[in-house]
A = this chain, B = another copy of it.
Amino acid sequence: MNRALNGEGGPGPRWLSDEEQRVWRAYLHATTLLEDHLDRQLQRDAGMPHIYYGLLVQLAQAPRRRKRMTELAIDAKITRSRLSHAIARLEKNGWVRREDCPSDKRGQNAVLTDEGFGVLERTAPGHVEAVRQVMFDRLTPEQVMQLGEIMQLMAEGLQPQDTGADLPWLR
């Protein structure tokens, strides 16, 4: 990441060009500021961090406002462990409750309560406005499209996948 660290003469790492460094820094700068901004906005207006809010949104969109824990974890891109803690907290708030899964006795459903839905109804407009102010009100429609494509491409390189090393069926 830093040219000053380059001190050898081999084929060496492919350092970033000045332009690439500039873009990478802009990316880090913007994404961290935005995440901090949304975390504060939601902590203030909804009493929970962004990721917890996202869990409620997922549940609100799910059929019958409920979802299996593992599925929810995958959709929200968090570990099952983290989800366990998060749901425990949301349960204390009365916004979510747990429910045994009828078809699989190991399973749990997280269910959005009416109170939880109410919180979303009250806070979603402010949240959307915050997102809009930072992203969509500042970009041209063309840039929005470009951003969508770029993020799509980056995500494709990050799909939870094997590293390619040490796969049993390759040994």
Contacts and interface: CB of A to CB of B under 8 A. Distances in A.
Interface of A: 1-2, 4-5, 7, 12-16, 19-20, 22-24, 26-37, 54, 57, 60-61, 77, 120-121, 124-129, 131-139, 143-159
Copies of this chain present: 2
Contacts of A132: 14, 16
A19 B124 contact: no
A139 B153 contact: yes
Contacts of A61: 2, 4
A107 B135 CA distance: 37
A131 B26 contact: no
A60 B23 contact: no
23 contacts: A1-B131, A2-B120, A5-B124, A12-B125, A13-B124, A13-B129, A23-B151, A24-B131, A24-B135, A26-B155, A27-B135, A27-B148, A28-B54, A29-B151, A30-B152, A30-B158, A33-B154, A138-B154, A138-B156, A139-B150, A143-B146, A147-B150, A150-B150
A137 B20 CA distance: 11
Contacts of A157: 133-134, 137-138
A112 to B, nearest CB: 11
Contacts of A147: 23, 26-27, 146-147, 150
